[in-house]
Amino acid sequence: MPDADRASPEAPSTTPSEKQAEQASQTANVTDPLKAAPDNVDTVLVLDECFVAETCIDRFLGALYMRAPKTDWIVVYEKKDVIIKRKRKLITVTRSFPKRVENDFGWKDPKAAERARMPLMDYVIGGMDRAFKLKLFYLLHAAEQAGLAPGITSGFRDDYRQSIANGLKAANDKSYHGGSSRGGYGHGLAADVVSMNGGSKEERATETKRLWKWIDEHEKQFGVGRPYLNGDPAHLAPVDGREYVAHRTVSRHTKLAGKRHTRIAASSRHGVTTRAKSKAASKAATTKVSSRL
């Protein structure tokens, strides 16, 4: 019998069913890298294949979304009765006073996902544009490696989700987060990010500003920036997208125009001053001549 056909005493033969059972056992022992992450949710582990696998990218962005608290600050108006003096009489009137309060919007994305009959992660992360997700992944992964602990508070939004948003916002169908007039699901080109660092709200606010500053410094490198700066500081968009170009380019042109007008005004004032000095000198010379005569 040829050696190849002879069973080795050190490697006993196995039946196909035994091989399948062994493979299943090995598969069961493979550890999911995200499930094996340490208890500290501020640390997100990413394998090398995450740089090329869309599924892994979605899971990374989803982990950043899940760890971020869905809270912000909004302005509400309280009505109070105050006494004022009008026409020499004291009268009581109702006035509205602005007040900043913390707003919990964590229920809105699940509600919108339920309405769309989709799992939450498929809705929030899956609804974003694929190219934008890749850029966002590179940016936030680098921020994570830099110790800035980014978290995503908002990803894709459909028209319904936009309709229940608070504060300054675009029309329901015009949001770059994924409004129907912007392409809808699969075409979301915006995300909101904050930092998870800090033990208190004040510390997290400071760390979040540090994260935003870091993003501003690296926007050209990763292709993602903040189109509204302080107007909507958490909002991110691709730097080559319509939203970023429309708002950041306009602001730059406005600044340049302001500087140009300032220079023109300054030169005009300089001309007026020069002419005034010339007139004063001419008048003084005439006075001297008159006094000599």
Domain ranges of the chain: 48-70+105-250, 72-103
> Is the pTM here over 0.85, yes or no?
no
Phi and psi torsions of 10, nearest 5°: -90, -15
Question: Which pair of structure tokens corresponds to residue 249?
Answer: 């380019």
Question: Which pair of structure tokens corresponds to residue 234?
Answer: 């958490």
Architecture of domain 48-70+105-250: 2-Layer Sandwich (3.30)
Kindly tell me the burial class for residue 193, based on how many C-beta atoms sit within 10 Å of its own C-beta (0-12, 13-18, 19 or more): buried
Confidence (pLDDT) at 27: 34
The HSE-up count of residue 287 (CA atoms within 13 Å, CB side) is 6
pLDDT, tens digit (0-9, with 9 covering 90-100), for 181-226: 999 999 999 999 999 999 898 999 999 999 999 999 999 999 999 9
pLDDT, tens digit (0-9, with 9 covering 90-100), for 105-128: 999 999 999 999 999 999 999 999
Q: Does 33 score more than 50 pLDDT?
A: no
What band does 52 get if pLDDT is binned at 50, 70 and 90? low
pLDDT, tens digit (0-9, with 9 covering 90-100), for 57-113: 999 999 999 999 998 888 888 999 999 999 889 999 999 999 888 888 999 999 999
Sequence-separated contacts (24+) of 234-239 with Cβ below 8 Å: 234/153, 234/192, 234/193, 234/194, 234/208, 235/190, 235/191, 235/192, 236/136, 236/139, 236/190, 236/191, 236/192, 236/193, 237/176, 237/189, 237/190, 238/131, 238/132, 238/135, 238/189
